[in-house]
Amino acid sequence: MKAARVKGLKPQDGLADSIQRIVATRLGELCAFMPVAEDPERVTELHDMRIAAKRLRYVLEISADLFGPYAAPAVLRTKELQSVLGDIHDCDVTLPLVVELIERARADDVAAVVAAQLSAAAIDLDPSAVADAAPHASAHRGLASMAVYLQARREVLFARFLELWLELEREGFRARLLFAIGERPIAPIEPATPVAPAPVAPPSEPDPEADPVLDGVLSHDSNMDGPATPLPSNEV
């Protein structure tokens, strides 16, 4: 089955927007098989529906985190649908092989019984001769049982498929998934890293022997150009 082409993809679109288009296309592709696949005789459609479910599942598995909350449960539901359709397909493939083996073994047994009776110049066939001359007589029961098992299992699985699809419809699988892929999760806001305050130097202790008046005068004179001005003397 060839995948449907995804329309509207543009290089400038973001990742989530592009995958949203892909998921929507794959979802529509899957749902388009119903109600045709409700017919148990539509073997090809059931097989193609399994492939469509697989494609939807794979793209959802790698992108569910980009969308709303329902995208994650949708992965599990799609996987469940793919699984039951896959088991149905296994029965559809294996049962014809078993039936073919039964027909081949029966043809070989008929040929062997006829050859044995003709060599004995028999004019009729005794039923007891079949058990003695048929080389595959013991295998018929096992093959017939296998055919019954596969056919019965297929019908049980198909009933489960119809039940599962009804569950998906009741829970709004398609609508909820379409809504979810239109959502974008909000990134959590990380708290700002606190900045440690700069250390403050402790105040220096005053020198008990220092003269604050003299220190101020000397500091003033040292900042002036030229020689220091002598202190004025008191006139008598």
> pLDDT tens digits for 93-123?
999 999 999 998 888 878 877 787 666 666 6
Q: What is the DSSP string of 163-195?
A: HHHHHHHHTTHHHHHHHHTT--PPPPPPPPPPP
Q: Label residue 236 by pLDDT band (50, 70, 90).
A: very low
| Helix, strand and coil in the chain, % to nearest 5 | 65, 0, 35
Handedness of CA 181, 79, 53, 51 (dihedral sign): positive
Q: Beta strands of 79-225 (E only): which ranges?
A: none
Please tell me the distance from the alpha carbon of residue 40 to that of residue 42, in angstroms, as a whole number: 6
Location of structure tokens 């479910």? 53
Burial label for 168, CB within 10 Å (0-12, 13-18, 19+), is buried
d(CA 199, CA 184): 45
Q: Other C-beta atoms within 10 Å of 39: how many? A: 11
| Complete DSSP assignment for 106-129 | HHHHHHHHHHHHHHTT-SS--THH
CA torsion sign for 61, 58, 25, 8 is positive
The mean pLDDT value for 179-199 works out to 78
Q: Which two tokens stand for residue 168?
A: 């998906």
pLDDT of residue 98: 95
Residue 77: count of CB within 10 angstroms of its CB: 20
pLDDT in tens, 70-89: 999 999 999 999 999 999 99
Which pLDDT score, from 0 to 100, does residue 235 have? 46
pLDDT at 32 over 50: yes
Mean pLDDT of 32-51: 97
